[in-house]
Amino acid sequence: MESNSNDSSVSFVKIPTIKFTKLFINGEFVDAVSGKTFETIDPRTGEMIAKVAEGDKEDVDLAVKAARQAFDHGPWPRLPGSARARIMMKFPDLIEENVEELAVLDTIDAGKLFSMGKAVDIPFAAKVLRYYAGAADKIHGEVLKMSREFHAYTLREPIGVAGLIIPWNFPTGMFMWKVSPALAAGCTMVVKPAEQTPLSALYYAHLAKLAGIPDGVLNVINGYGATAGAAITSHVDVDAVSFTGSTEVGRKVMQAAATSNLKVVSLELGGKSPLIIFDDADVDMAAQLAIFGTLFNKGEVCVASSRVYVQEGIYDKLVNKLVEKAKAWVVGDPFDPKVQQGPQIDKKQFDKILSYIEHGKREGATLLTGGKPLDGKGYYIEPTIFSEIKEEMLIAKDEIFGPVLGLAKFKTVEEAIKRANSTRYGLAAGIVTKDINVANTVSRSIRAGNIWINCYAALDNDCPFGGYKMSGFGSSLGLEALDIFLKVKSVVTPLFNTPWL
């Protein structure tokens, strides 16, 4: 493992003044009712970036009231889809005009690579907005062929006020994955970004207003999950909640939805995704996929390929390649264009990852490389590879959400399928093989919502993303992402002007 300087005195990009730190309610930036603030921390240094308004139940009440007023009496749900699309199309143009500043915010707030944010994350967010703007005028029901003498059709109408709860690992991507289909459907919304990463969400709220999205349609409440998040999920005037985060919190979201007003829920939760590499695989490609799948975004990825199963014929060769690549992986300041891995999101996550590494050692897995924090400021951890993992080990069962890869050897296709499915999660899986029959058999046998063959984490606007089992339910991306924000209404009338009983 190589390391570049993680000293914040090394300057690669000018950090702008933080412009937006308040709550965004009904088209205005406002202080929290309580006047409270909290610190958002730069994971490169562990030091404060800014103090941000801390919203709680009273602020959520105000935001929901604004969203409800905008839904019940405002223009947004009543606009033709083409009119919503025209406004939505202005939003990504503004994002692209401000791409550098937005990428900076996600780098200092989340430790994300600046180069990746500027070239990939922010442009993809603009693409997502344009995709759903294009869908806004294509939402329609169907005419039904009834078995009796009736004319009937369905309408697909916006569900109402949506609560959107965003995780910290992809603050831009997850914001747009949720906001874009909600806007296209004609919903109004209250967005709660993760307390670790509020800055870009507030900037997007500012750009939404500039684009012409009416006041009250998009509201942003910074705050903590136990207060602001809980207030959204239990609010009786919120009609749907879309949550991305841990399975533990996902349970609480469902409970709050059930005990309040039985609101609709979509959950994208944890993962412990297997990458299965067969003997006929190209070893160099397989090693690159395994490293990318685990270390991308410093392992803070719900689909991280943290369980790598390798068929015995190429196991030793592949292990050597992986160790070589991990040792060459560059960790350091995410503004440095040479760096491949920045800091973990915060001290809590940093300590959690290190504790799992210790668990791996105690449970008998073999540490091949890494396993230590970097010296100096910030929350940097070496890329870490264990071999000889077993399904009962914590490092094989739990979502670590860090740069930790576990290796195991298998003999047969049947063994690979069994071990891949030996998890409570079902978000994603990867298969590396040249045999189409093996690829087909394994892809149909693994219980996961996203299967990648000879690629990994290949996401696109058109491709629905969601999980099985304790990885949740509902879809992001694709036209399926609209479903949570729409209700189907059936309209029936007699064909003839005669009594129908």
* Dist. CA 371–CA 348, nearest whole Å: 17
Quick count: other Cβ atoms within 10 Å of Cβ 148? Answer: 9
What the block records as the tokens of 445 is: 């046998």
* Separation between Cα atoms, residue 174 and residue 477, nearest integer Å: 10
Alpha helices in 153-222 (DSSP H): 171-185, 199-211
Alpha helix (H) residue ranges in 117-243: 122-135, 171-185, 199-211, 230-233
Catalytic annotation, pick one of 268, 300, 382, 399: 268
Q: CA 107 to CA 293: how far, in whole Å?
A: 20
The residues near 127 (Cβ < 8 Å, ≥ 6 apart) are 92, 461
Buried b (16+ CB within 10 A) or exposed e, 135-147: bbeebeeeeeeee
Residue 3 neighbours by CB under 8 Å, 6+ apart:
330, 331, 332, 374, 380
Residue 28 annotated among the catalytic residues of the structure = no
* Numbers of helices and strands, H then E, in the chain: 15, 24
Tokens of 237: 């005037």
Backbone angles phi, psi at 51, to 5 degrees: -95, 130
User: How far is 342 from 143, CA to CA, in rounded Å?
Assistant: 53
Question: How crowded is residue 397: how many other Cβ atoms within 10 Å of its Cβ?
Answer: 17
User: Nearest 5°: phi and psi at 20?
Assistant: -125, 115
Cα separation of 287 and 265, whole Å?
A: 38
- Residue 308 three-state SS: strand
Nearest to 489 by CA among 160, 92, 58, 83: 160
User: Is residue 289 within 8 Å of 430, Cβ to Cβ?
Assistant: yes
CA–chain centroid gap for 186, Å, is 22
The answer for residues whose C-beta is within 8 angstroms of residue 61's C-beta and 6 or more apart is 231, 235
Catalytic residues: 268
